[in-house]
């Protein structure tokens, strides 16, 4: 008798990895041995990138070398800028990001190389280039010229600079940096698994990252924070939370986007950190409305027996929506920013897969009919 299939591969271990530990039962997340709380409080995104790629934190000179390499490698080839200008201005930013990353392969000096060393060089460039793509597309679709990255800025600062054209505000760039740190890596999620499957065939890192972006594009993965923000906009005002909850959630008609997680059965530690930064950013902006709506709705859920009994808590998407919206980022740009962060983890997994590679080829149970009799076309 064939072994029963595990729907969604739940409970199936597909690899050994040192990149991160996701402990859903206890609400813990660790990158290469370091608690996410410590990294969020102290690390530049580039430090986390170095950690994920090298298994240790960088020394000052190593950090500066990587920061500068990412910033200098973030410049997009003219052909990619022209490609972005040719895209319909109403195109979904995730389709744009996907297509632009694929286009980058045409111009990459290591595009034909599939060695680990070449993948490491390409990972540095891709980490900066995806950031530039996100900022450039947001400007181009609004009729503005793309702004090239500056070699003296961190990745978070460069994103704010390329988006606005002005020197990056510390509060905003710090919030973006924390967001990037928190979403950089998260175990064998759907997009990461996709990147490893593609890498396992011997394909190149650009293809692996394009595939990962395609997986991230789904609303059950990277699109959840956009759906959460649309939900907050629907509620509209803090005083509307209670009647909205009663009408839509207590009745079972809908679910709260951003609450509940496939892995976490305790509070997602990233959500707690993002809540603090979302509140701080809201206070500095002078607009507390969206934070209050989200916070009030989360409190209503956490006090409700349905959510308590099922151990449903806010996840990383919930408060990240408020943080990104408060910096005036369009909602459809939320998923590309997820890719902007997760490129660090994807690249780490691609290189990890390359170091101990084997084609990923799971089995499948055939449950269809057998021995059907052929019927000529004239008799069907």
Q: Which two tokens stand for residue 247?
A: 């009408």
Given the residues 206, 221, 261, 349, select the one marked as catalytic.
261
> Quick check: 174 and 273 in contact, CB under 8 A?
no
Cα separation, 233 vs 92, whole angstroms? 20
Cα separation, 163 vs 153, whole angstroms? 14
Query: Which residues, in sequence order, are bridge partners of residue 20?
Result: 31
Q: Which two tokens stand for residue 25?
A: 């039962």
Cα separation, 264 vs 315, whole angstroms? 8
Given the residues 221, 295, 317, 349, select the one marked as catalytic.
317
Cα separation, 169 vs 164, whole angstroms? 10
Cα separation, 319 vs 309, whole angstroms? 22
Active site residue 363: no
> Quick check: 162 and 149 in contact, CB under 8 A?
yes
User: Which strand (E) or helix (H) includes residue 40?
Assistant: helix 36-42
Q: Alpha helix locations (H) across 266-371?
A: 269-285, 289-302, 305-309, 316-326, 334-355
Active site residue 110: no
Radius of gyration of the chain (CA): 22
| Catalytic site positions | 261, 317
């Amino acid at each position: 008798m064939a072994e029963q299939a595990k729907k969604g591969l739940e409970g199936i271990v597909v690899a050994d990895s040192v990149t991160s530990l996701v402990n859903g039962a206890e609400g813990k997340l660790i990158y290469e041995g370091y608690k996410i709380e410590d990294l969020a409080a102290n690390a530049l995104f580039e430090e986390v990138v170095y950690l994920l790629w090298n298994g240790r934190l960088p020394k000052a000179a190593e950090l500066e070398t990587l920061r500068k390499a990412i910033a200098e490698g973030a410049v997009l080839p003219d052909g990619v800028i022209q490609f972005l200008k040719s895209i319909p201005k109403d195109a979904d930013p995730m389709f744009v990001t996907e297509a632009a990353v694929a286009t980058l392969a045409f111009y990459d000096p290591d595009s034909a190389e599939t060695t680990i060393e070449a993948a490491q060089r390409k990972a540095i460039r891709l980490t900066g280039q995806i950031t530039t793509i996100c900022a450039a597309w947001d400007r181009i679709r609004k009729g503005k010229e793309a702004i090239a990255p500056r070699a003296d800025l961190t990745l978070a600062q460069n994103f704010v600079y390329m988006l606005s054209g002005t020197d990056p505000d510390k509060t905003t760039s710090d919030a973006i940096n924390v967001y990037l740190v928190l979403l950089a890596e998260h175990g064998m999620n759907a997009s990461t698994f996709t990147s490893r499957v593609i890498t396992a065939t011997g394909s190149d890192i650009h293809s692996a990252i394009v595939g990962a972006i395609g997986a991230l594009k789904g609303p059950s993965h990277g699109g959840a924070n956009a759906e959460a923000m649309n939900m907050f906009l629907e509620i509209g005002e803090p005083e509307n939370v209670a009647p909205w909850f009663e009408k839509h959630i207590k009745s079972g008609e809908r679910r709260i986007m951003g609450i509940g997680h496939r892995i976490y059965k305790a509070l997602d530690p990233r959500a707690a950190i993002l809540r603090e930064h979302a509140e701080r950013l809201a206070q500095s902006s002078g607009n507390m409305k969206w934070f209050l709506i989200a916070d009030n709705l989360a409190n209503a859920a956490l006090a409700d027996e349905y959510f308590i009994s099922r151990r449903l808590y806010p996840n990383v998407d919930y408060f990240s929506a408020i943080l990104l919206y408060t910096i005036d980022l369009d909602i459809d740009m939320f998923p590309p920013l997820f890719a902007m962060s997760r490129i660090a983890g994807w690249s780490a997994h691609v290189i990890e897969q390359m170091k101990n590679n084997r084609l990923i080829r799971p089995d499948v149970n055939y449950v269809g009919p057998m021995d059907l009799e052929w019927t000529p076309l004239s008799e069907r």
